[in-house]
Amino acid sequence: MNLFATVSFLSLAALYAVLCVMLLINWRRDLAGALLILACAISAAWALVFAAQASGKPIADIQLFVIGVLRAGTWLSFLLALLDRAGVSRWVVGIVLSIWLAALVAGVVSPSSTGLGGLVIVLCGLFLIEQLYRNTPRESRHVWNALALGLGGMFVYDLVLYSQAVAFGVFDSATWSARGAVNILFVPLIAMTARRIPESGFDIFVSRHIVFYFTSVASVGIYLALMAAGSYLLIIYGGTWGELARVVFVAAGTVVLLVLLVSERVRAYLKVFINKHFFRNKYDYREEWLRLISTMAGFDDGSAREVVIRAMAQIVGSQGGWLWAVDDRDGEYRLLASFRVPDLIQAIDAQDPIIAFINRSGWLIDLEEYRHEPQLYGDLVLSDWAGKTENAWLIVPLMFRQKLLGLVMLTKAPALFDLNYEDRDLLKTVGNHLAVHLAQEQSDTRLAEAQQFEAYNRLTAFLMHDLNNLIAQQSLIIQNAEKHKRKPEFVDDAIRTIANSVSRMKRVMSRLRRRDATGQVRPTELRFLVSAAADRCAEYEPVPVLDPGPPGLRIEFDAEQFTTVLSHLIKNAQDATPPDGTVSVRVVERNNRVAVEIQDSGCGMSAKFIREHLFKPFDSTKGSQGMGIGAYQAREFVRSIGGELSVESEESRGTKVTLTVPLA
């Protein structure tokens, strides 16, 4: 017991000495700061004296009492200086100092009254803390939380010690020996008090991580101490079952402690409590910005999509979310990524109420706040994709050059809390920063596509040059064919074949030279085009099963190009399906529009592949046999005629491609 007391008092003296040095370095010549430095210095000396006494050094009780009263007096002076700032009447100062001086004199004159004198002094300390709270505006009382827990805890512990001495005529040895260890818990709180006091002049850095882990370790220590006390009581009062009950109690308590230590919810609540009650600024912005930069540096394959969600979610402790970004071609906000949650709505209309509200106000939307106080958001009516999504919490705008580039919707954090102005400002600032990275990624993608199209155009130019040479050569053969018409019949066949190839190559050249993508436009019955596309693919397996739909469904755009697009989609379905599988083509009329459904039982595709690769130009899964532009061209052609191409697929279950176009 003596060794424990000696070590704990020495550790306490070292902590007070370090705090005293830090305060001296940062002191800016104010009275409250000077009294705080003096109180820390006297407390360090007090701890050294008690460490010497615990180690067996002969120190008189009156000396211990005097150093204890001096320690309490400096803390009382510090509190009185704070009360003077708060405008408390000076008579309070006179009364408290008179009581302190009377207790000191009484203890020196009559050593038997030391317990009563100490009790009166600690009651004065608690009274001053209460007065400080009472005379502080309600909105500013959070500043004094650390002071109440630090100095208040120190005075309360001394209150218990002196109360026992007054009641029983002697100090309790266990409470006396544990005094140093208990006071160690209050030093970090006193350090935070120095930082949070308005106009104190101190600018001491106290790491949130140190406070968090110190608080965690202290809490575990208190928990283990309570378990030990409970075990001791069970042995004393448990009778014959005492030892068995102690074992069960310790085992159960250990399990509970382990559950609490590994619980993310408990850690999240502890962090929220510390941030809310002990720090002037909720966030350590240096730490937050370094973490954001580290997260953004973790791009995978140059994509900022999931990283954007993860960087936003880690600020508020969210578990995941969704990211939508604007599509420049139609203005819709398309789902780019989801993080730890299933995919949600694939596209949000530019006229959606939430999009319009954010564009108008630039606000972050707290869905929990909206459900309780919708009037705060004016006339906003939540869309189903946000209002009815389970676990949705925050919608954070990504603004770029005063325009809404995208938005992130986050799920609820394990420890849900009310957002204040600091949370909102940080989230919006990070959102603007992430929008720059997202815009950069989109610009890089467009530049890469433009470079690939430029290479493709050069390839087309080379192809036209080669085709011209072939046409010239074969035209010459045709021109000279008259000279050789009396030769064997196979020459006639060769001439007819060459003539046919010349005709076909001219058509290709005409198509390549034409600037617009449309050919001859006239009303055409759709079933004929679908049948022609199926016939082109009939030589491959599995042979497509055709349902051409009812007669009379007519379209009015380039029939040849439409047939080519259908052929490409059917051939893709055949490539993805084994020979014993099925590929079906069905025509269905829907509200003055017609849909061509191409369904297969092949390998299927993941949602991520469809979103990020299927329609990406020059991103082919066929290796050197494909250019990766077919699906992209098909979709762009369908969009150019006012239609839409959609894909539904599931891995190992097959794919359904629906091509919807307007009727003539």
Neighbours of 530 (CB within 10 A): 26
Instruction: Give the Å distances, CA to CA, from 605 to 589, 629, 655, 657.
Output: 27, 17, 7, 12
- Is residue 510 situated within a structural domain? no
Section 347-358 average pLDDT: 92
Query: Which residues, including other chains, have CB under 8 Å from residue 248's CB and lie 6 or more apart?
Result: none
For the cut 80, the answer to whether the pLDDT of residue 646 exceeds it is: yes
Q: Are residues 426 and 370 in the same domain?
A: yes
What tokens does 654 get? Answer: 């097959």
User: The domain containing residue 256 runs over which residues?
Assistant: 207-280
What tokens does 52 get? Answer: 């010497």
pLDDT given for residue 407 in this prediction? 94
pLDDT given for residue 325 in this prediction? 92
Section 68-72 average pLDDT: 89
The pairing of strands 545-547 and 524-525 is unpaired
Q: Are residues 556 and 625 in the same domain?
A: yes
For the cut 70, the answer to whether the pLDDT of residue 484 exceeds it is: no
Query: Quick check: 664 and 557 in contact, CB under 8 A?
Result: no
- Is residue 243 situated within a structural domain? yes
Query: Quick check: 512 and 464 in contact, CB under 8 A?
Result: yes
- Is residue 359 situated within a structural domain? yes
For the cut 60, the answer to whether the pLDDT of residue 619 exceeds it is: no
- Is residue 540 situated within a structural domain? yes
pLDDT given for residue 139 in this prediction? 58
Q: How large a percentage of the chain has pLDDT more than 70?
A: 70
Backbone dihedral region for residue 648 (phi beyond 0: left; psi -120 to 50: alpha; all else: beta): beta
pLDDT, greater one: 302 or 472: 472
Q: What is the pLDDT of residues 555-586, one digit of tens each?
A: 887 787 788 788 888 888 888 889 889 999 99
Torsion angles phi and psi, residue 663, rounded to 5: -80, 155
Q: What is the pLDDT of residues 377-426, one digit of tens each?
A: 988 999 989 988 888 999 999 999 888 999 999 999 887 777 877 888 88
pLDDT given for residue 584 in this prediction? 92
Q: Are residues 212 and 300 in the same domain?
A: no
Nearest to 26 by CA among 214, 291, 206, 260: 206
β partners of residue 335: 324
Query: Which residues, including other chains, have CB under 8 Å from residue 548's CB and lie 6 or more apart?
Result: 526, 527, 530, 531, 587
How many helices and strands in the chain, by DSSP H and E?
23, 13
Q: How far apart are CA 364 and CA 370, in angstroms?
A: 11
Q: Are residues 178 and 264 in the same domain?
A: no
Q: How far apart are CA 465 and CA 447, in angstroms?
A: 27
Boundary of a domain, candidates 438, 456, 486: 438
pLDDT given for residue 617 in this prediction? 65
For the cut 50, the answer to whether the pLDDT of residue 310 exceeds it is: yes
Boundary of a domain, candidates 438, 470, 504: 438
- Quickly list H helices, 110-186: 114-134, 145-168, 173-177, 179-184
- Is residue 76 situated within a structural domain? yes
For the cut 90, the answer to whether the pLDDT of residue 348 exceeds it is: yes
Q: Are residues 337 and 315 in the same domain?
A: yes
- Is residue 350 situated within a structural domain? yes
Q: Are residues 52 and 133 in the same domain?
A: yes
Q: How large a percentage of the chain has pLDDT more than 90?
A: 11
Q: Are residues 273 and 315 in the same domain?
A: no
Highest mean pLDDT among 201-210, 238-247, 303-312, 448-457: 303-312
Nearest to 634 by CA among 598, 593, 586: 598
Query: Quick check: 130 and 79 in contact, CB under 8 A?
Result: no
pLDDT given for residue 397 in this prediction? 95
For the cut 50, the answer to whether the pLDDT of residue 626 exceeds it is: no
For the cut 60, the answer to whether the pLDDT of residue 235 exceeds it is: yes
544 CB-contact burial (10 Å; exposed 0-12 / middle 13-18 / buried 19+): buried
Q: How far apart are CA 107 and CA 66, in angstroms?
A: 8
Q: Are residues 172 and 274 in the same domain?
A: no
Q: Are residues 187 and 310 in the same domain?
A: no
For the cut 90, the answer to whether the pLDDT of residue 650 exceeds it is: no
For the cut 80, the answer to whether the pLDDT of residue 214 exceeds it is: no
In this structure, of 18-27, 318-327, 395-404, 474-483, the range with the lowest mean pLDDT score is 474-483
- Going by pLDDT thresholds of 50, 70 and 90, the confidence category of residue 331 is confident
Query: Quick check: 228 and 246 in contact, CB under 8 A?
Result: no
What tokens does 288 get? Answer: 């937050």
- Is residue 289 situated within a structural domain? no
Q: Are residues 15 and 86 in the same domain?
A: yes
pLDDT, greater one: 335 or 484: 335
For the cut 70, the answer to whether the pLDDT of residue 541 exceeds it is: yes
pLDDT, greater one: 590 or 504: 590
- Going by pLDDT thresholds of 50, 70 and 90, the confidence category of residue 640 is confident
Backbone dihedral region for residue 488 (phi beyond 0: left; psi -120 to 50: alpha; all else: beta): beta
Please, what is the Cα angle at 109 between 107 and 112, to 5 degrees?
55
Instruction: Write the single-letter amino acid at 72.
Output: A
For the cut 90, the answer to whether the pLDDT of residue 149 exceeds it is: no
> Could you give the number of structural domains in the chain?
4
Q: Using alpha carbons only, how large is the chain's radius of gyration in Å? A: 40
Q: How far apart are CA 279 and CA 196, in angstroms?
A: 7
Torsion angles phi and psi, residue 172, rounded to 5: -70, 125
Q: How far apart are CA 254 and CA 257, in angstroms?
A: 5
The pairing of strands 583-590 and 545-547 is parallel
Q: What is the pLDDT of residues 260-302, one digit of tens each?
A: 556 666 666 666 565 555 555 666 667 787 788 888 776 655 4
Instruction: Give the Å distances, CA to CA, from 548 to 2, 340, 362, 471, 556.
Output: 97, 42, 51, 38, 17
Query: Which residues, including other chains, have CB under 8 Å from residue 311's CB and lie 6 or more apart?
Result: 292, 295, 296, 430, 434
Boundary of a domain, candidates 400, 418, 438: 438
Q: Are residues 536 and 629 in the same domain?
A: yes
Q: Are residues 276 and 301 in the same domain?
A: no
pTM: predicted TM-score of the whole model, two decimal places: 0.46
Q: What is the pLDDT of residues 435-465, one digit of tens each?
A: 888 888 778 777 777 777 776 765 665 566 5
pLDDT given for residue 302 in this prediction? 45
> What's the per-residue H, E or C state across 518-537?
CCCECCEEHHHHHHHHHHHC
pLDDT given for residue 138 in this prediction? 64
pLDDT given for residue 406 in this prediction? 92
Instruction: Give the Å distances, CA to CA, from 286 to 331, 396, 615.
Output: 36, 22, 41
pLDDT given for residue 203 in this prediction? 44
- Is residue 88 situated within a structural domain? yes
Dihedral of CA atoms 170, 175, 178, 180 in degrees, nearest 10, equals -60
Q: For the chain, what is the mean pLDDT?
A: 78
SS3 195: helix
In this structure, of 340-349, 363-372, 498-507, the range with the lowest mean pLDDT score is 498-507
pLDDT given for residue 516 in this prediction? 44
pLDDT, greater one: 169 or 267: 169
Element (H, E) at 295: helix 285-296
